[in-house]
Structure 1
């Protein structure tokens, strides 16, 4: 494969970096195989964050690095790793992050993909019929290397090639979750907001301390950084807010607002609104009809707050807005219900 001539590396985070990371370990992504991970384990590729550097930390094999790092290749060929996505999806872009890999990063990388209904019996990954979805592309050292994916297909597994060897801190695979809603019954209760189902956090007025997308991740927050937290606001009667696009328009029957780990910085109160807009329409547009689902409710520190019907408004919603008063942090938001 020749080095891509038409691609230019994107220097700033593109819009697709706001989409779901389909490969994220905390969603269920896994690194199944690597040709070599002598210096640093392949599993690090999908961990949260960009990776850290500890100056004086060494292992019996050399310098400890927070990423996937192969040994210096003294034979022909190159190294590669196989990633199982957390969920099937359409890939929009990649971030091949070489954070802290400076004298040991790969000069180039490429990505192949495949859709597999069941990969449990595969023992020879080279025998799989892979399709190239990112040609051999330049990598900068110590940098986030963003590239678009032009394929319109769905994928379940990827193969990341590095040329010829070296270290990559993280691989992010941004895209849209695919869920076959035809097999989900109309009476089946699901979390309509969950990222693994296709929910997305699309806008907020503030996320100074931690990202809004944490709200819809699996499980309870692991610490105070694993939630959505706004800065301290000194404006009287302030309201902070975040908008979630539901995985599918649906009817909400039960709500969970979890302030796990937020003790001296939880919001005093919250409320939830909803709207129904057509696919592709902007819920932030002027004139969108937002209606109250859950009126203002008192919150407590480090607590799971459950709210059930009857709500003020019922019916189908495509988006919800969580309002917190006056500011603070929420770990998780669950919106249990049925598809429309």
Structure 2
């Protein structure tokens, strides 16, 4: 039996493919008598309310099965919000102190519909011991792409949250000729790599699905007191020719940027993430410095100066500082 690795995050900028905000769904489980399977993918690490009970027993913020007496084990099936390669999982047993499972394993499958009795599952993580009331970060040795996972717990008990860290993988051959794709979307493989500042909220929020739910659900920098401006560099999901740009300042009413500009670059290595190499790329103007407004979606088409080049990276500049909720980069993957 292997053992969980003891550290907080598997690698910088790790993406949770099982995040609820990506559209992840918990499909089924063997048993969730004490606490609902749907809690497994919620944000945060889970909370504990000492005096809160339900008709079935203690209320717990996670997935918890009853005590097994038959020698079997419990399981829960999850459809990933973004199909892709899986590098690590975190079976977080936060607040499960006397009722955590002794060990876990993980099966995965790739299917365009939903798993059924005929689905072929592959074990990608063998039975691994876990600790109670802990983040249990475990490396997964698999180079394949997966759409669904099945978490097995031995023999029973509670897991507060399941995180499935990896890289989204999109089959671009399934897009129609002439179909516009959001090349910046995190679910398609777009990634924010580097920024001047993200004091108030994380740069990855900029590429998340949907509109921001509040001012904290965007990219926001601190108030700039000196010269200059703030910027963010992202890697597109695939090299692409840009046709439509949406800059959304939803919820940013007194702290939106006054102006923005957008630049593009073509890296010899499309997967380039090195900070110095990114800054040294040959950046070309895509949209010149343009006025922004509060709490509004801004659509740009005619303003795009180069619709032919297949850019690999973009740099969003905001003047002088502030917050942007979402950036949509619609184009044709090359």
Whether these two folds match at TM > 0.5 is yes
CA distance in 1, matches of 2:130, 2:78: 19
Does 1:139 find its partner at 2:130? Answer: yes
Q: Which 5+ residue runs of structure 1 have no aligned equivalent?
A: none
1:34 Cα deviation after fit: 0.7
Does 1:319 find its partner at 2:317? Answer: no
Q: Contact 1:221 / 1:332 at 8 angstroms: preserved in 2?
A: yes
> Does the residue aligned with 2:282 lie in a helix, a strand or coil?
coil
CA distance in 2, matches of 1:248, 1:28: 21
Equivalence for 2:244: 254
Does 1:218 find its partner at 2:212? Answer: no
User: Is the alpha carbon distance of 1:116 and 1:258 closer, same or farther for their aligned partners in structure 2, counting shifts above 3 Å?
Assistant: same
Equivalence for 1:148: 139
> Does the residue aligned with 1:74 lie in a helix, a strand or coil?
coil
CA-to-aligned-CA distance 1:47-68 (integer Å, 9 cap, x gap):
2232233344332223322221
Q: Runs (4+) of structure 1 moved beyond 6 Å?
A: none
CA distance in 2, matches of 1:59, 1:328: 44
1:256 Cα deviation after fit: 0.9
CA distance in 1, matches of 2:128, 2:58: 27
User: Is the alpha carbon distance of 1:150 and 1:293 closer, same or farther for their aligned partners in structure 2, counting shifts above 3 Å?
Assistant: same
CA-to-aligned-CA distance 1:231-277 (integer Å, 9 cap, x gap):
x2343124222222111111111111111122233222222221111
CA distance in 2, matches of 1:56, 1:261: 36
Equivalence for 1:66: 61
Does 1:180 find its partner at 2:171? Answer: yes
CA distance in 1, matches of 2:292, 2:98: 50
TM-score, reference length from structure 2: 0.90
What RMSD in Å do the two structures reach over aligned CA positions?
A: 2.2
Q: For structure 1, which segment, 247-256 or 310-319, has the greater mean C-alpha deviation from structure 2 after superposition?
A: 310-319
User: Is the alpha carbon distance of 1:18 and 1:78 closer, same or farther for their aligned partners in structure 2, counting shifts above 3 Å?
Assistant: same
Q: For structure 1, which segment, 261-270 or 249-258, has the greater mean C-alpha deviation from structure 2 after superposition?
A: 261-270
Does 1:264 find its partner at 2:254? Answer: yes
Q: Contact 2:193 / 2:273 at 8 angstroms: preserved in 1?
A: no
Equivalence for 2:296: 303
CA distance in 2, matches of 1:71, 1:329: 46
Q: Contact 2:239 / 2:270 at 8 angstroms: preserved in 1?
A: no
Q: Contact 1:274 / 1:320 at 8 angstroms: preserved in 2?
A: yes
CA distance in 1, matches of 2:132, 2:196: 33
Q: Which 5+ residue runs of structure 2 have no aligned equivalent?
A: none
The number of equivalent residue pairs is: 330
Q: For structure 1, which segment, 74-83 or 178-187, has the greater mean C-alpha deviation from structure 2 after superposition?
A: 178-187
CA distance in 1, matches of 2:48, 2:155: 23
Equivalence for 2:148: 157
